[in-house]
Amino acid sequence: MVSSGDSSATAATRVTELACFRTAFPAEGGTYRMSGGREYTEFSSTVVRVSTEDGTRGYGEASTMGGDYLDGFLESTEATVRRLAPLVLDADPLQAAPLVRMMDRTLIGHFPGKAAIDIAMWDLRGRLLGVPVATLLGGIAQTTVPAFAAVPPGAPEERIAEARRLATRGYLRWQIKVGDAPDRDVADVRAILETVGEGRHYLSCDANCGWTTDDAMRFSRAVADLETYLEQPCASISELALVRAATGRPIIIDEAAKQPRDLLDAIALGCVDGINLKPVRVGGLTKAALMRDIAQSAGLKIAVDEPMGGMLASACVAQLAATVDPRLLLASAFFATNEESFFDERSEAEDGMPTFSHGEISVPTGPGHGVIPDEQSLGDPVFVVDAETV
């Protein structure tokens, strides 16, 4: 069940309990694929719940897709949350940056676990203050945001069928997964674009670090007539700089932008034209908002995404995307198709949940992220930390 909530904040409010849950849902269509032979039949998420003495709760979700995508995996995320939980109980929940700095001083890296905490704390702040997270992150620039559809690798006929299915659902913005054999990728991209038609508004060919610089240049030359971004074609920022200089093709940075300084380095090298911004990858919404501002100041385009997730991740993405300058927002992810596995039930709140219609995602207008999971569907927490257990 998903609902909305409201409360009032006082200066004395403190988090009295942190609970960590583990949940999983199957990949839509049975298998999700990326370059390098990576395949996933199920996705796990870490859900953090923070509670105050008056019963106000905030929730954050972090899915890493597994240890072969981000610098973290389910068990490491949970261990990070457990290690950092005492800091949360000692923090002022209305002050975001001090807690983020303290988490970074306590643990180097381990961003997915930090993200689960930080995202939950933003939800809590919104509920304590009675406003959407987007309001606290800088203001709501748009109440609906464009959604993109990812077309995973596979046999050509499978990819075409999936693209046709997604186009039928109303998607107009596309992220086509590439990154293995450039020649085959070229043929697949052209076939997929023939299928989805000329009504598309945005196209990214996403290699997920799967190419060498030579592969990326060969692909770019072969699609010179297509208007497309290359999304993280190679693993490092220096490789992106080589590809950008040699091809002139606009590049979106993704996996290589783990922290704000990475984005600053890429901008200084002049090798990126946009960023795929994932709060879980960078440690939460606090740093994601900083990287949004850096990108906007440099005139970069922005896609807002997560590795994977359910309704909580969809709501978090929608809140951040709502704050982006509409002229710079490329598209946003929407995972609520996983919601039936992630939640047992759903209820329509008066102030709305993130929904998808005609290629657009509605931004929840309730306090916090605008959604609350049915905890019966989450099951028992993996652990609970409170004042007595610290």
> What positions carry a catalytic annotation?
177, 278
In angstroms, the CA 142 to CA 60 distance is 23
Distance CA 5, CA 58 (A): 10
Distances (CA, A) of 318 to 134, 141, 208: 8, 12, 23
Q: For the CA atoms of 343, 344, 349, 351, what is the dihedral angle to 10 degrees?
A: 10
Give the single-character DSSP code of 59: E
**In contact, 162 and 191? CB cutoff 8 Å:** no
Pairing of strands 360-362, 144-146: antiparallel
User: What's at 15, amino acid-wise?
Assistant: V
Asked if 285 contacts 119 with a C-beta cutoff of 8 angstroms, the reply is: yes
**3-state SS of the chain: helix, strand, coil percent to 5?**
40, 20, 40
- CB atoms under 10 Å from CB of 168, counted, come to 9
